[in-house]
Amino acid sequence: MSTTPAKTAPTELLAEINKSGTTNLHHVNPQEKNPLPSAEVINQERTEAELRDRIGSFNKDQLKHTTTEEKTVLPSPDDIQNEKVEQELRERIGSFHKEDLNPTETAVKVVLPTEDDIHHEKVEQELRERIGSFHKEDLNPTETTVKVVLPTEDVIEQEKQEQELKNSINSFKRTSLKHTETQEKNPLPQSEAIQLEKKETELRQSIEGFEKNQLKHAVTDEKVKLPTKEEILEAKKLEK
């Protein structure tokens, strides 16, 4: 009796599956619940494992004993004075009462415009009204005349010469040129010029190599003696 349900159960299940068909089935996307780690994750995990092993096997006896020194910097007199002033100011602000203030009335001062400002404003207002009420129909149609200034005879003649020159340059043929040979002329100086140049060179050398120590000391004698001041005054008295 116990073997009959085991044999008939798969048959009934297959019959139910065949009746339902494939139309009632839903499409599903397979998802990997346990993805493999990447190479970066594996390397990071190895590094962390090595670091943990090194920390766990670290020997504290290798450390050197040190003594901590606490350094307290004392404030300067200026810092103490500034701190006192700030403390007093804070206490005064904290204990200040608004009732001690005297009520005041705010006076709004309106500056009146001058006569020039009023006149200028009136002129601007009138000008704006005239521009706003202006009609284009009031304008008179005008015809524009284009004035062409004719060139003078000198300008025409100069333009003709320039045009002829340009035409002659453009129509010029190099084949009409004649071949010429260049002769370099380098005339040699005459004997008189050579002799004169030698004398000038010797004179320059003698002037440049001249020594002042060879000069003799001379005394200057004044041949024309000028009259003194007293003699001039006496001559004037005699003339009078």
pLDDT of residue 133: 85
Determine the Cα–Cα distance for residues 221 and 215; give it in Å rounded to an integer: 18
pLDDT of residue 4: 47
pLDDT of residue 2: 43
pLDDT of residue 67: 85
pLDDT of residue 1: 42
pLDDT of residue 5: 47
pLDDT of residue 82: 93
Those residues of the chain that have pLDDT short of 50 are 1-6
Distances 193 to 189, 198, 199, 200, 203 between C-alpha atoms, Å: 6, 9, 10, 11, 15
User: Residue length, the chain?
Assistant: 240
